[in-house]
Copies of this chain bind each other. A is one copy, B any other.
């Protein structure tokens, strides 16, 4: 590695050229004014290999990183040089035949691109060697293989990515992985967990999505601990479902495993952002303990044959109803060719009267309209009021306590199979993994959120 490579590490193409012209390097402490007049101060970071050649990345004093398009740089001034001294050792990840084999699939997002919780360095750690350097505990837990599927911000995930991810999971499990961990941005991790619950069924081993809310260069990062919990849950855990592993409380006391179909991001920045909705979480995990909170889950069973079903129709959308909503909104969706509409109604699944004819017409045109509740907790119960019955008569299908975002992902997946209304209805209402449950547990409403229930009436276990 020569000096010049190190000085512009990871930069290529236009971005590399610009840095040279501006006579700044990686670790330069700079002040940038962009073409819109905004001022950015911070240290230029090295790039990882899978980024574009148009942005430089600045670690700002707030601790947040920002990417700046080189064409938008109006002026750049070097204030100093602040090289991070830490370097991830790239030694080989040890292999121990006594440990389970876990595959980490990377999709982008904070955990895969910036994992390193002990230093100020922000060098992305993703290969097993890098991860070993950053989080040495991982080598005591499992033999780790890593595969980068793609590198996108999670808000840019979409149906093609879901299908590719489902396929990759299937391939890894067929190849003998004892568990899968998926590094994923947290923004849409709930959506991915939901759709994977339908595209990947009957898994013999755990499939654990994990991310972090604070990047690993911040002291409060949850990246390393989440990854440790996730690799443990994947390698040793008994729950062979698609699940999300993130902090339970806002502190780092323990993590929670949430069922893929019943989980939603509920805080934009807290580390304890994921909450199980309308149920209790599957399990509490810590470095030492695996404590299922329910008995009702699919057990690990290496003999079970995984089913990968990565089909979809992306012409689905969601409408959160609000008072005064006009029928032209529904009409516009039908005009634009949407084949499936999830409504998140108010209360037990209501919309205003002016929408009824528009919804009826949509159904008559073959659009599949389903009803969920925007309260998130509770059930759509459309038989309670006459108005609900009018909607049922119009062909709107209630989905009980399926959360709206899960309903959207399921509807896209179902419409990949069939366009027959009766069959769509049957598939939507037939739960695959508890996306509809007969009842909500007594402690399933905004409970088990910040801590465990006072009555610990659940099974306790330890890592084997």
Name A residues whose Cβ lies closer than 8 Å to a Cβ of B: 36, 38, 55, 64, 66-69, 153-159, 185-188, 191-192, 250, 265-270, 272-273, 275, 314, 317-318, 320-326, 328-329, 332-333, 335-336, 344-353, 373-381, 383-387, 389, 393, 404-405, 408, 412, 445-447, 449-450
Sample of 14 A–B contacts (CB below 8 Å): A64-B385, A67-B386, A155-B321, A156-B353, A266-B376, A266-B446, A268-B378, A268-B379, A269-B379, A270-B377, A270-B378, A273-B375, A322-B408, A332-B333
Give the nearest-CB partner of A185 in chain B: B347
User: B residues within 8 A CB of A314?
Assistant: 324, 326
List of B residues within 8 angstroms of A381 by Cβ: 268-269
**Given A266-B446, A379-B269, A385-B67: A336 in contact with B347 (beta carbons within 8 A):** no
Protomer copies: 2
Residues from chain B with a CB closer than 8 A to the CB of A272 are 445
Flag if A323 contacts B157 (CB, 8 Å): yes
CB < 8 Å neighbour of A265 from B250, B265, B375:
B375
Q: Kindly report which residue of chain B lies nearest to residue A350, judged by CB atoms.
A: B155
Closest to A374 in B: B265
Residue of B nearest to A64 (CB): B384
A250 proximity list for chain B (CB < 8 A): 445
CB pair B375 A153 closer than 8 Å = no
| Residue pair A352, B268 in contact (C-beta under 8 Å) | no
- Residue in A69, A325, A350 with the greatest tally of chain B CB atoms within 10 Å: A350
The dominant DSSP class at the A interface is: loop
With contacts A250-B445, A265-B375, A267-B378 known, what are 11 further pairs, Cβ within 8 A? A67-B385, A154-B323, A154-B346, A157-B323, A188-B322, A191-B322, A265-B374, A270-B378, A320-B320, A332-B332, A332-B336
CB-defined contacts of A320 to chain B, threshold 8 Å: 318, 320, 344, 404
User: A449: which B residues are within 8 A, CB to CB?
Assistant: 446-447, 449
A336-B328 contact, Cβ under 8 Å, with A323-B191, A352-B155, A352-B158: yes
Those 8 A-B pairs whose CB atoms lie nearest each other, nearest first:
A268-B378, A187-B347, A67-B386, A158-B324, A332-B332, A187-B346, A155-B350, A267-B377
CB-nearest residue of chain B to A344: B320
Give every chain B residue within 8 A of A157 (Cβ-Cβ).
323-324
Residues of B within 8 A of A185 (CB): 347
Contact B344 A387 (CB under 8 A): no
Q: Which residue of B lies closest to A69 (CB)?
A: B386
Find chain B residues with CB under 8 A from A154 CB. 323, 346-347
Output the least CB separation between A95 and chain B (Å): 36
How long is the Cα–Cα vector from A153 to B153 in the complex, in angstroms?
Answer: 42
Q: What chain B residues lie within 8 Å of A270 (beta carbons)?
A: 377-378, 445
> Would you give the shortest CB distance from A260 to chain B, in whole angstroms?
15
